[in-house]
Chain A
Amino acid sequence: MSELPFAVTLDAGSSRANHTGTWRVERPVYVDRLPPCNDACPAGENIQHWLYDAEAGSYEAAWRTLVEDNPLPAICGRVCFHPCEAACNRGKLDEAVGIHAVERFLGDAAIAQGWRLPAPAAPSGRRVLVVGAGPSGLSVAYHLTRLGHEVEIREAAPRPGGMLRYGIPKYRLPREVIDAEVAKIGNLGVVIRCGLAVTDIAGSMEEGGFDAAYLAFGAQLSHRVQIPAADSARVLDALAFLAGTEAAEPPAIGRRVVVYGGGDTAMDAARSAKRLGATEAVIVYRRNRERMPAHPVEVEEALAEGVTVRWLSTIARVNRDRIVIEKMELDTAGFPQPTGEFTELGADCVILALGQDADLAPLAALEDVEVRDGAVVVDAHLMTGRPGVFAGGDMVPADRTVTVAIGHGKRAARNIDRWLAGAPEAAAPRHNLAAFDKLNTWYYADAPRTVQPELEAVRRQTGFEEVVGGLDGSNALYEARRCLSCGNCFECDNCYGVCPDNAVSKLGPGERYAFDYDYCKGCGICVAECPCGAIVMVPELI
């Protein structure tokens, strides 16, 4: 073929010499946003990240990502009230991703597969005393050990777990799960000494050569109220009762049990009573359902199991086989006020579940540790007034939940580490939140949440078998894949595909994409069509 006709015929692809990027007044930029689930997690888990691993079927990788923040996934997956799911953007689309179910699946898989927690860093030569082997103590011990510090946990109870073991019934949290995850932490070299109550903190640190201490002995004293009662009346406190269910010889409660209180412990007590053979388990609560502190799920499960509730009632007196109840009414401020109306209710036993207090006696000796409203005062780094002594969990002012306690442990570990190193705090910058309005949900296929199998009601009332079952491999994958990856690129190729100017380069698996600003005209289609809101337009600085 001879020379091409001048001008009329052109060689292919020559327009790349024409840099249309100069037309642009705004430029697209890739960003990472903070997913609502991560934002809401008290333990500071990178939930989206471990779901990203899980959705690829890489369960061990997912578990490893998970335990970067929380060493107790099998436990949290069962007992955490998962604020992450309340925050999940998918909830606005169909239903929230069943994050806790996947977490539990990963935790259980780790137990079944015998995956080991990441090995500790090189020994720092520093020793830290942890008081209390509850979730917070276990968490801090784990993180400190990974940082290379030597940790010893002292626990007053005969076995580790604290409220996990003595506050939560086994039908919600099987004990072998506690044992397995505690064992993983023990395997890292954490020394856990049970049946050893610490009464003299300073002395113990001195004698044990500890450079710092973390106090997490929780709140195990049941709150006491004065109720007129006949000598013959049988009155128990909830924590003792629940702890008793752990013992070989469970406490005698009779057929008709009244539980006084409206928190989760009240629910646990009532449901446990049922399991111990009570034909009636009646909860007496002074306010109405809306104002009940117990977690709704707990209430529903309790009612489903035949527990009944007397709303707007207080116990005026306890007799041998019956109690007197006074009707209440809420004032404008929502506080219950007596009405003077009384009724009676048959009861072989009354269990008081009116909240717990921390036993702060051991702190009395530490004059520089301030105690206010029955809680230890700590600074932003969870350090008490006494340098090197930190505190967390139920004994500091915060929500008293397992996950919050675990979160305290993680934070405290970082802070103790810095304190030991004498390093200043280096606060990591937080990304902007990936709110629902940042998403283009068209690109997400419809996928309803998987329902975890539940133990049928009859079997629930006859034993302490675990009520809620777990996911299997396939539906865990399914559930993980329901994640919208809010605010963070998951390489769907949309931007690469929808650019009319081929101004997006695909960098390959895990490498995401790059804009070619030589050609990008700034139309913004990539921003509009990004499913997860990981691109923003910023003005060109001309």
Chain B
Amino acid sequence: MFQVRIHGRGGQGVVTAAELLAVAAFNDGRHAQAFPSFGSERTGAPVVSFCRISEREIRTRSPIDEPDALVIQDATLLHQVGLFSGLRPQGYVLVNTKKSLAEIGVAGFVAELPKGHVLTLRATEIALQHLGRPLPNAVLLGGFAALTGAVSLAAVVTAIEDRFSGPMREGNVTAVTEAFNQTRAELEGAATLERRSVGAAPD
């Protein structure tokens, strides 16, 4: 079972992101369960959503307290207490920012994570470029797919195509693909140094 926790703010499509991820996993023939951190969040308030991905039926309804991956849609949340809480030792972290990890100063938190498991992605910038709106949630899934391999790019694209229509659809597909490729490239750049294969399937 591969469990993801997505952090963002109300209005950034945090819940949608989890749902898209679940649909993508479903498209890959896997079982998935997406659910929000239930509550009456308002725009701007910190929001969390969750997604479980598994080969078998998912029965548990307990919250995800030991995620395999964190997606952080809004870097301003980074220094919030407990953002990284429960993250598995082999876990992944994807942060939406144009700054470097060093610049955003999370190196400390993620020091013990494996190399190449922590990346940043200029998702909002890409979104603005292709959607004309600062909606990073779908874009980040492209990077997530490349980073974790938990879902395929094709599955994510299909999920987006089912979910959106018109320019949002086209724009998101392009953006997601670009995000995927950028991340893939970044990882390969690292790999040539590390001799490390990426996209290991989840447990």
- Determine whether A and B are in direct contact in the complex, meaning some CB atoms lie less than 8 angstroms apart: no
Please list the residues of chain A having a beta carbon within 8 angstroms of any beta carbon in chain B.
none
Task: Give the A-binding residues of B (Cβ under 8 A).
Answer: none
